[in-house]
Amino acid sequence: MDDQYLNVIMGIIMNAGNAKGLAHEALESAKQNDFEKANQLMAESNQSLAEAHNVQSEMLTKEAQGEHTEMNLYMVHAQDHLMTAITYQDLVKELITLYKKNAQ
């Protein structure tokens, strides 16, 4: 495995992990009825998720152009982090909405 491939994997894991962590912080802010901070943290979470998704999209583009990507446990792990972050972020958005309704 070359360094460039490892950097791609770590980029997905790092950005997906950041997105999930920021979404969790947003949820904690919403629990305290600090919806301005929750919105700010979710915006940051979205940015991190976009960065992880961009890395993945680059890989998909290369694959479509015939440049095969090596699939190994590290890549599976990175994809798992990305999908978990996406799912968690979707759930947190719904929970923040519920906290806002409850606060009114």
The answer to whether 80 is annotated as binding is yes
As a whole number of Å, the end-to-end CA separation of the chain is 54
Share in percent of the chain as helix, strand, coil (round to 5): 85, 0, 15
Q: Which of 24, 53, 68, 77 is catalytic?
A: 77
Mark whether 77 is an active-site residue: yes
**Tokens representing 31?**
């629990």
Residue ranges for the binding site for Mg(2+)?
80
Residue ranges for the binding site?
80
User: So which residues are the catalytic ones?
Assistant: 77
